[in-house]
A and B are shown apart, each in its own frame.
Chain A
Amino acid sequence: MFSNRGYRWKLGAALTVIAILGVAAARWGDSINPALGRCVAEPRRWEGASLWFPAARILSVRETDYEIATGAAQIRVTGRAPAASGALITLTGIFHADGPRFEPLRTRVLSPHVHLRWLMEAVSIVVALAVLANFARHFLFRPRLLQVERSD
């Protein structure tokens, strides 16, 4: 399995399996948690679909409903707003074609430190580079080392 025999075939097969898995996931997952923009563009098709918005901004608040925006799309959400307009929330619920409107099932107001996401991303990049540098220290071809060994 790990020998050099049929190396190209093995590598080719692994890469083919990876590609097939990616395409399969994209196809099978296409109808799961679709983007709001797609639902709003074709409301009849997505009637009753379960949606999850990782982050949505409350645009306006009324007594019985409120408006949210996620990505480039907006939708009216039924029920009382969990926070004032301008707040970031995350919510799951059901999309309805009439309106269209969104019936929330679970709602949570995002913490103010959600803006620190850039810090997490920046630290993650530094960690990834450090891990790769450590790997390179152990495995990269180092001609100088060979020269030293040869001179010995």
Chain B
Amino acid sequence: MADLLVHFASAYAVGRPLRDGRLRSIFYVGVCLPDVLYKSLLYLGGAPNWLCEPTHSPLALIPFCYAAALLFEEPWRKRAFLALLGGAWLHVLFDLGKNYMGSGVILWAFPFSMQTVELGWYAGEDSVFLMLPALALIGAIELLFRRKKVSGREPASP
């Protein structure tokens, strides 16, 4: 998996235009969710690798996000579910680009198929080189939105 900084940068690019900061914060949690679940099950739960794989499968992520959305107060649940699922799917989309030597990364149709797919664009260990561009992207987006905010506040010229 690409590191969470790269995933967060992708979520920041997509989620920053959202006006509601609360919805944005859920979307950011959603983009971290697959890795947090995978590593929690693997390292904290001692689960075998295959048991953790549904956390990186588009269809299997639906019940995960649904269960998490149910923990919100009622008026927020639908939005929380969509934000969590959107973030999680964005994560899976980025992981799809990894190179697993043709073995496949994502169980794209689980539980209906165990077939895995990958695009093979970058090796896992090369993710370290994506960290600085990810930071630069986050900085550029933040700068853009701050400038927009400042220019929006300026009084209209007479």
A: residues with CB less than 8 A from B are: 1-4, 7, 10-11, 14-15, 17-18, 21-26, 28-30, 32-33, 52, 54, 90-92, 106, 108, 110-111, 113-114, 116-117, 119-121, 123-124, 127-128, 131-132, 134-135, 137-139
Query: Min CB distance, B9 to chain A, in Å?
Result: 10
Most chain B CB within a 10 A radius of its CB, from A3, A10, A131, A132: A131
Interface residues of B in 37-57 (CB under 8 A from A): 41, 47-54
Known: A2-B81, A7-B70, A132-B29. A23 touches B51 (CB 8 A): yes
B: residues with CB less than 8 A from A are: 3-5, 8, 21-22, 25-26, 28-29, 32, 35-36, 41, 47-54, 60, 63-64, 66-67, 69-70, 72, 74, 77-78, 81, 100-103, 107, 110-111, 114, 123-128, 131
Main secondary structure of the interface of B (DSSP, over half): helix
Query: Are A52 and B77 in contact, with the CB atoms below 8 A?
Result: no
Query: Are A134 and B28 in contact, with the CB atoms below 8 A?
Result: yes
Known: A111-B125, A124-B5, A127-B4. A92 touches B25 (CB 8 A): no
List, in ascending order, chain B residues with CB within 8 A of A108's CB. Answer: 101, 123
Query: Are B66 and A138 in contact, with the CB atoms below 8 A?
Result: no
Query: Are B50 and A106 in contact, with the CB atoms below 8 A?
Result: no
From A7, A17, A24, A124, contact of B3 by CB (8 A): A124
CA distance A15 to B104 in the complex (A): 27
CA distance A32 to B8 in the complex (A): 31
Q: Which residue of chain B lies nearest to A115 when distances are taken between CB atoms in the complex?
A: B125
Query: Are B77 and A2 in contact, with the CB atoms below 8 A?
Result: yes
From B22, B47, B81, B103, contact of A138 by CB (8 A): B22
List, in ascending order, chain A residues with CB within 8 A of B126's CB. Answer: 111
Query: Are B50 and A30 in contact, with the CB atoms below 8 A?
Result: yes
